[in-house]
Amino acid sequence: MSAGDLSIKASASPGPSGAATGPRAAGDVEVIAGDCATGLLLLCDHAANAMPPELGSLGLPPEQLERHIAYDIGAAEMTRALAGALGAPAVLSHFSRLLIDPNRGLDDPTLVMRLSDGALVPGNRHLDEAGVAERITRFYAPYDAAITAAIERALAAGHPPAIVSMHSFTPFWKQAARPWHVGVLWDDPGALAKLLIAALRREKDLVVGDNEPYAGGLPGDTIDRHATRRGLPDVLIEVRQDLIATSHAARGWGLRLAAVLPGCLAQLRREQPASCDSTAVDRAPS
């Protein structure tokens, strides 16, 4: 099954104010309509730790669902705050990455994790091809299709969007403390990312990772599928989870990013108008 075969399932519809009504069940998609004239589309692949009731916690102790292995702590609230502050559209997943990781290509061996940061996932251990296909249909595909639909809406309105993918990272990895407050990840050409790194580094209280804590860009990941293959500008932002562990702090980081992101996008448009031009977006995924 290729990304092009993915079909749309019903997603959360915008309310009268343009705000999302919010997802109800694991596999729903949270869509914030926003204004595509902002030139932005925010994505949050790992927004939630939601599980369908019949799968419980995939055989894990329930407290494991509160860990970073299940979702990006703080990322959803940060994304909503950023979207709200800028009036930008956003698409947020509403299922745990332990079920299936929407930030992986369908042929990626880590699409369904059998082992995650030391935790064996019993409910994934013997999942066969049909089981994976069911999770693609129920969780992965609706989110992926909602992103495609949001991009198509923006293109139809004449506003090719820069794709901003919002994540968070665990402060410790393999017992080593990670020093960065925020990491900006990019794959070639990374022009928007480089502008954002420079802007964030002007804020002297921040340690900003340039393609840290890991290099951006996996073949078939969300940015690759939805930005790179379409020639849309993109950036992936990772904020350290201890800085956004409360709703208040996560919203604060959303507002902080809202103060710098539009300037970076405006600068990109001045320096590289072609990368933001609708003529640059004819490489739709096949």
Please answer whether residues 68 and 52 qualify as being in contact, where contact means their C-beta atoms are separated by less than 8 angstroms: no
Query: Does residue 167 belong to the site contacting Zn ion (CB under 5 A)?
Result: yes
Stretch touching Zn ion by CB under 5 A, among 22-30, 165-173, 175-183, 228-236: 165-173
Task: Spell 155-169 as b/e; 16+ CB within 10 A means b.
Answer: beeebbbbbbbbbbb
Count of residues in contact with Zn ion, rule CB under 5 A: 3
Query: Does residue 101 belong to the site contacting Zn ion (CB under 5 A)?
Result: no
**C-beta closer to Zn ion: residue 167 or 256:** 167
CB-hemisphere CA count at 13 Å for 113?
A: 20
Near Zn ion by CB under 5 A: residue from 33, 34, 46, 82:
46
Query: Does residue 72 belong to the site contacting Zn ion (CB under 5 A)?
Result: yes
Exposed, middle or buried by CB within 10 Å (0-12, 13-18, 19+), for 229? middle
Query: Does residue 240 belong to the site contacting Zn ion (CB under 5 A)?
Result: no
Stretch touching Zn ion by CB under 5 A, among 125-133, 163-171, 192-200, 220-228: 163-171
Closest approach, Cβ 15 to Zn ion, in A, equals 27
For residue 63, give every residue at least 6 positions away whose Cβ sits within 8 Å of its Cβ, in sequence order, or none. none
Please answer whether residues 230 and 222 qualify as being in contact, where contact means their C-beta atoms are separated by less than 8 angstroms: no
Distance CA 46, CA 238 (A): 11
**C-beta closer to Zn ion: residue 104 or 167:** 167
Closest approach, Cβ 167 to Zn ion, in A, equals 3
**C-beta closer to Zn ion: residue 213 or 262:** 213
* Residues within the interface to Zn ion (CB under 5 A): 46, 72, 167
